Amino acid sequence: MVDLRDLDHADHSTAVGVLARGMRDNPLHLAAFGDDSERRRRSLEQMFTTYFRVSSAQTPIGAFDGDVLVGLTGIAPAGTCQPTASQRLRFIPGMVALGPRAAARLASWLKTWATHDPDEAHSHLGPLAVDAHLQGKGIGTRILGEYCRRLDADHEVGYLETDKPENVRLYERHGFVVIGEAPVIGVTNWFMRRGHAGAA
C-alpha cells in the first residue's frame, strides 16, 4: 500500500530519477532520443530536471512506499502549462544539452502538443510515471484516483497527452475521453480530456 502526498522542491531530483526510469521505453522517447536505453534515461533526466526547475507552478503528487518515492505525476495548474517567453528562454540550455538532433525533435514534439492544447481553462496532467520495476501493481491507479478526486473537488477540467494505447484505456477508466489524435515526431499521440463531475 502506498501513501500519496504532494511533492516539494526537495523531492524533485528523486522525482526526476523515477520519471526517467519509468518513461525510458515509451515510444515517443525512443523516437526522440534513439535506441540506446541508457542515453534515453539520461536525456529524460536532463529534460525533467530543466522542466521542474523552470515550471515552478507545478504541484506534483507523489506515491511513497515508506520513505521511497515509487511514482508521481506532475500537474500544471490552469493557465500554467504553456511556457511564458521567459520560461522558453530558460528551457534553451537544457535543450541544447540534449544535442542538436534530439533538441530539434523535442522542439517539434512540444510544438505539436501546444497546437492541441485546449483553449479552455484546464489542469494539465503529466509527466506521470511509476518506477520501472513497480509498474502494473496499482500505483498509477492510486495516483490517478487522487488527481481526479482533486479535479472534481475543484470543479476543474483535466487534460493530458499520451503515446500508448494501454495508457488510453487506463485514463478512460478514470473518466478521460480521447478528443484528438496526431503523429508526434512520427509516433501516434492521443489527447484526452476529463470534464469534472456534474459538467460536460
Ligand X SMILES: CC(C)(COP(=O)(O)OP(=O)(O)OC[C@H]1O[C@@H](n2cnc3c(N)ncnc32)[C@H](O)[C@@H]1OP(=O)(O)O)[C@@H](O)C(=O)NCCC(=O)NCCS
| Residues at the site binding ligand X, with contacts judged by CB under 6 A | 22-23, 26, 126, 128-130, 135-141, 162, 164, 166-167, 169-170
C-alpha cell at 99: 544535442
Smaller CB separation from ligand X, 142 or 196: 142
By beta-carbon distance, which residue lies closest to ligand X? 140
Contacts of 15 (CB under 8 A, 6+ apart): 7, 48, 52, 60, 62, 69, 72
**Least distance between ligand X and beta carbon 126 (Å):** 6
**Closest CA relative to residue 60, chosen from 112, 119, 12, 131:** 12
> What is the widest separation between alpha-carbon atoms in the chain?
47
Smaller CB separation from ligand X, 46 or 73: 73
**Least distance between ligand X and beta carbon 178 (Å):** 13
**Least distance between ligand X and beta carbon 67 (Å):** 19
Smaller CB separation from ligand X, 78 or 170: 170
Distance of CA 192 to the CA centre of its chain: 13
Place of cell 528562454: 89
Q: Are 156 and 78 in contact (CB under 8 A)?
A: yes
Smaller CB separation from ligand X, 42 or 90: 42
C-alpha cell at 180: 484528438
Smaller CB separation from ligand X, 50 or 162: 162
